[in-house]
Structure 1
């Protein structure tokens, strides 16, 4: 059913029930710009409408933060989809296909979507084709100057392989890593030897770990579904990446003699300068935040730090770089490529992503210092400045 949105709430809130399994799915369109919104589709057990609504609002902010009137890419509105199902369940693919069939009118007209937690882009594409869709992003096609050329350019970019990993699986982590480096640079902390612990070694976490290790940082702990792998002198990131499965779980037989296999929450208390939660939402709460000794938390996942935890962390001098800034690179890369700001080239994609994220992190931290607020509050203030500009140029849809 569709629930009417309040005047200050999302434009569309929709709850779907799978007639086969009884599982629930959700779609929230927070805002439209030029009639279109953008936001991925996640699948995880326990996914809720409130969670999807928060993510959709976050997408509105990510899009607005990347607005540059000089770019071909014009930000879209924010949206998000979610399915309450374990992606490892043998029935999950059928649920996904039926969800996309039910959402087909929205995907064809107002909602562009793609991979998110629990789903790969290849799987979304396969299910979308089975559901009768041209593409999971077909709603944006009418906004393109040359649809055929744009689609060819994006397809070519998705075919780019870097060291055995697709470019699309790397750009988000490149942006997260650059956010970490920007924060270190601003504080005058050398990259070499700086210590980082991550939760999650999937698409985002794995790419982040790779870029940070190559920048000279020591990745001292990585948490996955099997626990936390740690080494005080730094893990062999490339070996861990080579030994992970499709869900980012590392084969423990690949660990070195000095690597330690610790409980799953041990990454929180790792002796690190930076923590990167890159797996699930709501990972850091008011209780477990007490274990954190890191100076920075960089949100590669969506909504990993609960608000009450962030307030307590701020009191202790721990800086949280918010998800709406840090993990916005993947979404922006799609649109930079599709609209023609960059081509199907890895070096160009990484350079553009690094420039954009470094600028955004610097701007956010400078605003926080100026206003005496947290980086999240500063990012929200930047969004508040930009949304009226977008609304004046393209219209305001609530």
Structure 2
């Protein structure tokens, strides 16, 4: 089956095997930008996954992210819940998000992909793309919102809109709820993992790489649990204080892109070169910014006992193998950073009302139970946390596939 869409897109689709169900490649007509959409799987005709923009983004990267979204959806399957996990998908644009032309490139990409967004792909922000920008552009293109496709499979669309309005109009201590839920989930997963390792949060330290919505919220809620955040990494380098940084001040004064305001640093906060982030002494390392940043070439610099993947695919497979040999545990991305995606759908389908109270309670419960479940399988089978999480996801996906159709009924 072939697909033709506007603005220089090549598309191909077919029956799902070990490869992606659908892939589209877009070539911008006004810049060197290239974009991709990969739908790894459809459930009830719909898939879910964010859109990223970064220079060097590749089709293989987006394929891996889309497969990760399938797993991220699958691990949150709860029989009897209103939210039935969707298929996994992802979008990516090979372009510099800091370029003055970035919004124009994003607009043209969204215009080209509008038919997919309307019918098959529920999408949102990821690295280099802000949800507010997507929400501004899509209605101008005739697409009501970024999750329009999901309204085909919700029982009461008006009630869903009301819950989403609550979710996206709420803020907590100066930060909007939608910017907090993902990092809050990472923090809950990290705290559960720390308990399994016998690490006392009140005595623990952490380094956070990336200070956008995911990294910033992770830092906030780890700090509130008693963990000293001794390092924060942004595009300008490393901020370090072995006695702990003032996370709240830095969080509320950061830029929209997650840059730390250096004028808000205290006298004993130090600025280090960006290359120092892996080797800072800490119990927990949270890569929350970019993919493939811990590699076979630099994994020996990691000083932490536990890596919690807040970004998508930050640790390469060969690096993880070497880290495992050294006794460093890696809590995989499709577990640790899965709360953002699940929170959208818990609110949308009605498992929660979208309020901060119900949102945080649901995330804490599910992320703790999920992380403990992964540890239980890993310890009983003597396998890595990632292998254990794959087993849990595969089990859930098999049940979803047997119970729910791939396509919408016609």
Class of the TM-score when normalised by the shorter of the 2 chains: over 0.9
TM-score (normalised: structure 1): 0.98
Alignment of 1:1-398 (within 5 A): 1-4=10-13, 7-396=17-406
CA distance in 1, matches of 2:307, 2:285: 5
CA distances 1:168-203 after superposition (whole Å, capped 9, x unpaired): 000101100001110111122211020000100110
Structure 1 SS opposite 2:45: coil
TM-score (normalised: structure 2): 0.95
CA distance in 2, matches of 1:242, 1:166: 11
CA distance in 2, matches of 1:379, 1:330: 18
Q: Is the 8 A contact 1:223 1:265 kept in 2?
A: no
CA distance in 1, matches of 2:380, 2:32: 50
Q: Is the 8 A contact 1:244 1:250 kept in 2?
A: yes
CA distances 1:10-40 after superposition (whole Å, capped 9, x unpaired): 0001110011113100000000000100000
Q: Is the 8 A contact 2:53 2:95 kept in 1?
A: yes
CA distances 1:122-171 after superposition (whole Å, capped 9, x unpaired): 11111212222111101010111110111121012100011111000001
Structure 2 SS opposite 1:391: helix
CA distance in 2, matches of 1:86, 1:326: 27
Quote how far apart the aligned CAs of 1:218 are. 0.3
Structure 2 SS opposite 1:170: helix
Quote how far apart the aligned CAs of 1:70 are. 2.1
Distance 1:396 1:371, change over 3 A: farther
Quote how far apart the aligned CAs of 1:396 are. 4.8
> Unmatched 5+ residue regions in structure 2?
1-9
Q: How many residues align?
A: 397
**Structure 1 consecutive aligned stretches of length 4 or more whose deviation exceeds 4 Å:** none
CA distance in 2, matches of 1:11, 1:183: 34
CA distance in 2, matches of 1:279, 1:236: 20
Q: Is the 8 A contact 2:40 2:88 kept in 1?
A: yes
CA distances 1:247-287 after superposition (whole Å, capped 9, x unpaired): 11112121111111001121211110000000000010011
Q: Is the 8 A contact 2:175 2:252 kept in 1?
A: no
> Unmatched 5+ residue regions in structure 1?
none
Distance 1:192 1:152, change over 3 A: same
